[in-house]
Amino acid sequence: MGTFEALVAEGEAVPLDGWDFSWFAGRATEERPPWGYARLIADRLRAVSSALDLQTGGGEVTASAPVLPPLMAATESWPPNALVASRNLPLVVRAPDGGPLPFRGSVFDLVISRHPVVTPWREIARVLKPGGTYFSQQIGAGTNRELTDFMMGPQPVSQARSTAGARAEAEAAGLEVLRLEPVSLRVAFFDVGAVVHFLRKVLWTVPGFTVEAYRDRLRAMHEHIEEHGEFVSTSERFLVEARKGPLPA
């Protein structure tokens, strides 16, 4: 393992564009959800004629599907990610995460989203065709709270990302929830450089994170990993599928 300063500098220098986590290989691991999101969306994408990927990041997950529908659109709010996504997907437009979405109503058979920052349920319901579905893997309440608490001290767990909240908001938007499945997953960091890069990339874990502001806690993290071989946290995920009802007869 490198020195504290070298590892921190390395984690601080990694580019943040895109949503590719391959840099973490050998430096951190995260248990995968049992349902296989990429495989599930690939099955759905080949069965529809139009789809929208919200907050696509660099578009890597959707682009991994072997077949895309004739109309495949995506939105992304952060310019560096939008540039990456435009190389991976046929149509990428800039749009704020919380909406409004720059599409007319009732145009998509399927709306998908992996780890959205926010879920604009009413806009999703608006752009879905009658009978269309929203299918998403989301970050659950209290995800990586061990890492947050280590860096910031004990923090209250917001219920903004709870499964109960997702169901209530989906139903309030007029969608029928077909599937809502939570899971807790083991995360392990093997050096402090991986922690630095993760906190820079996954901004909501420690809001306002900078190396200088948290250098003392990073040094404590380095010492913890040297003693224990890893720092273990828990990510919370849930899968949600919701359907827009048909037009009245």
Q: What is the pTM of this model?
A: 0.89
Would the pLDDT of 22 be above 70?
Answer: yes
Residue (of 93, 57, 55, 53) closest to 72 by Cα position: 53
In the structure encoding, which two tokens stand for residue 33, read together? 């959800």
Average pLDDT over residues 182-206: 96
Instruction: Report the pLDDT value the prediction gives residue 17, as an integer from 0 to 100.
Output: 76
Task: Work out the mean pLDDT of the chain and round it to a whole number.
Answer: 95
In CATH terms, the fold of domain 4-244 is Rossmann fold (3.40.50)
Residue 160's pLDDT band, with cuts at 50, 70 and 90, is: confident
Taking each helix axis from N to C end, the angle separating 192-201 and 4-13, rounded to the nearest 10 degrees, works out to 30
Q: What is the pLDDT of residues 213-249, one digit of tens each?
A: 999 999 999 999 999 999 999 999 999 999 999 866 5
How confident is the model over 49-59, as a mean pLDDT?
97
pLDDT confidence of 2, banded at 50, 70, 90? confident
Query: pLDDT by residue (tens digit) across 70-85?
Result: 999 999 999 999 999 9
Short-list 151, 106, 98, CA closest to 132: 106
Domain boundaries, the chain: 4-244
